[in-house]
Amino acid sequence: MPEIPDLEAIRHYLMPRLEGLTVTRVEAPIPWLVRSGAVELESIVGHGFGEIHRLGKFLIFFMDGDRLLVINPMLTGRFHWVEAGARRPPRLGVVVAFDNGHELRYSDQRRMGRIYLVARDQLDTVPQIAKLGPDAMAVGEEEFLARIKKRAGQIKNTLTNGEFLAGIGNAYSDEILWEAQLHPHRRRSTMSEEDLRRLYAAIRSTIEWASGVVDQTVKEEGLGRKEEWRQHLQVHRRAGEPCPRCGEPIKGQVRSGSETNYCVKCQPLFT
């Protein structure tokens, strides 16, 4: 699932490339991905894109005419920036063609993504947007502490709950908790304020570091060549490998198809 570093890299890659271009054609091979209607999406022909913002796991494309193209790629949504004649990927959901001969494509292996076209003042009508907590990279430390102290459950579940904090998923919750030396199944109610401040610092440092790595990778490789960028992660999907901090084997647990990885020594459940 794309998380903040992935979406920030996509945003940085696409924004200068879309600037000044005009949409010449739109296709929706999987029309139900466009929740506001494939016919309505065709109305962007003749228009252009402006800035691209990110909110949690949503990318928000500003368009002339005071409209927003809002995309939540969910688990397997992928963006491709290619020349019009390039081979099309499987499960191609939407194609936006431009007057410079390039196409912005969106593919989705599980076809779970959500695409909306809304007026600029109606962003909160997009399902889930209104319920989102503050973005993980926009929340201040004191607000974070006030919000998290209202939670009592397992800390990984709290971090990945978009209504608490927007933008953190399975992969980066593992990385953040490893950096903070907190067990993913430890209950928030057992944590001290020092633990929580360390967690806040780990959110900032981990996402900032990873964003720089992914941004550089995407600059070099472009979009559409890989499904996700995870090669730099310290513990996620590294079960059995030595912990980068202490050398003990990384533990892996899979529940409902979702993998959690952590170091038993560095991240004790009980302190």
Residue 244 predicted with pLDDT over 90? yes
Same fold, 4-131 and 141-262: no
pLDDT at 136: 97
CA distances from 168 to 62, 107, 132, 174 (A): 23, 22, 12, 10
Q: What pLDDT is attached to residue 36? A: 82
* 156-160: average pLDDT: 97
Measured distance CA(76)–CA(33) in Å, rounded? 13
pLDDT at 229: 86
Tell me the two tokens of residue 251: 């533990």
- The pLDDT score that the predictor gives to residue 225 is 63
pTM above 0.85, yes or no: yes
Give the model confidence (pLDDT) of 93-151 as tens digits.
999 999 999 999 999 999 999 999 999 999 999 999 999 999 999 999 999 999 999 99
Please name the amino acid found at residue 140: G
The mean pLDDT of the chain is: 94
% the chain with pLDDT above 90? 88
Domain 4-131 sits in CATH at: 3.20.190.10
- Predicted confidence at residue 255, as pLDDT, reads 85
Q: Is the pLDDT of residue 90 over 70?
A: yes
pLDDT score, position 119: 93
Paired with 62 in beta bridges are 68
- Hey, what are 46's tokens? 């003749």
CA angle (146, 150, 156) in 5-degree steps: 100
Q: Where are the domains of the chain?
A: 4-131, 141-262
Query: Residue 35 in contact with residue 29, Cβ under 8 Å?
Result: no
Q: What is the mean pLDDT of residues 240-257?
A: 94
Q: At what angle do helices 193-221 and 4-18 cross, to 10 degrees?
A: 40
Strand residues in the chain grouped as ranges (E): 23-27, 49-55, 58-63, 67-72, 77-83, 92-98, 102-108, 114-119, 251-255, 258-262
Look at residue 39 and tell me whether its pLDDT is greater than 90: no
CATH number of 141-262: 1.10.8.50
Q: What is the pLDDT of residue 59?
A: 97
- Of 149-153, 154-158, 254-258, the range with the lowest mean pLDDT is 254-258
117 within 8 A of 67, measured Cβ to Cβ? yes
